[in-house]
Chain A
Amino acid sequence: GAVVSQHPSRVICKSGTSVKIECRSLDFQATTMFWYRQFPKQSLMLMATSNEGSKATYEQGVEKDKFLINHASLTLSTLTVTSAHPEDSSFYICSAGGGGRDEQYFGPGTRLTVT
């Protein structure tokens, strides 16, 4: 199967700082990438859909100015959590699709802790 990586796997930051999470498709070109958030013992909630070269589409209730998404190339999408607060602490997971593939392939996730 295809490989999707995320970096970093864990990050701890102070309240008010910004954190960037990278999602890379390592062996295929992903025309679409998705960002999900998962709170402890809860389900994955789609935050936004990111298409290469265009603006991301955010789900209802997700602040686009707080969660900045950039899909600059067919193998890289970034999620920046701006002015992070403790309530942003969560597990962030990306997935990549497209390039002729039927399924989405998920990254290993990034655990963000805001102190």
Chain B
Amino acid sequence: AQKVTQAQTEISVVEKEDVTLDCVYETRDTTYYLFWYKQPPSGELVFLIRRNSFDEQNEISGRYSWNFQKSTSSFNFTITASQVVDSAVYFCALSEFNTDKLIFGTGTRLQVFP
């Protein structure tokens, strides 16, 4: 069965601190996709990244970076030099190859204080 675990319910940091959001997943498939979404207070989901299971390269996009480790079934997300605008709930999600259904983790609420 598929499952996504985000053990951190809430994280609070002060602006300019680095913060890592953890994501651990379970799936029996060898081909799957992993995602991160941001949900600001407005509620709309913002797509951040999609990664397929065959691509273990880490990715950096500005202040955002992702560390995909198949050996530990983890897909962690790091925000460098956090800003107040990064305050949101962040969801990690998984979908298997032959379906577009997304299985979401429980989300991590990030609060960045000035």
Contacts and interface: CB of A to CB of B under 8 A. Distances in A.
Interface range on chain A (Cβ under 8 Å from partner)? 20 to 34
Contact of B100 (A91, A97, A107, A111): A97
A93 interface: yes
Q: Say what secondary structure dominates the interface of chain B.
A: loop
Contact of A34 (B37, B50, B102): B102
Nearest to B107: A43
A43 B105 contact: yes
Interface string B15-32: 000000000000000000
Interface residues of B, number: 18
A107 B102 CA distance: 15
Given A32-B100, A49-B101, A108 B91 contact: no
Interface stretch (A61-69, A77-85, A98-106): A98-106
Interface of B: 35, 37, 42-45, 47, 50, 91, 100-107, 109
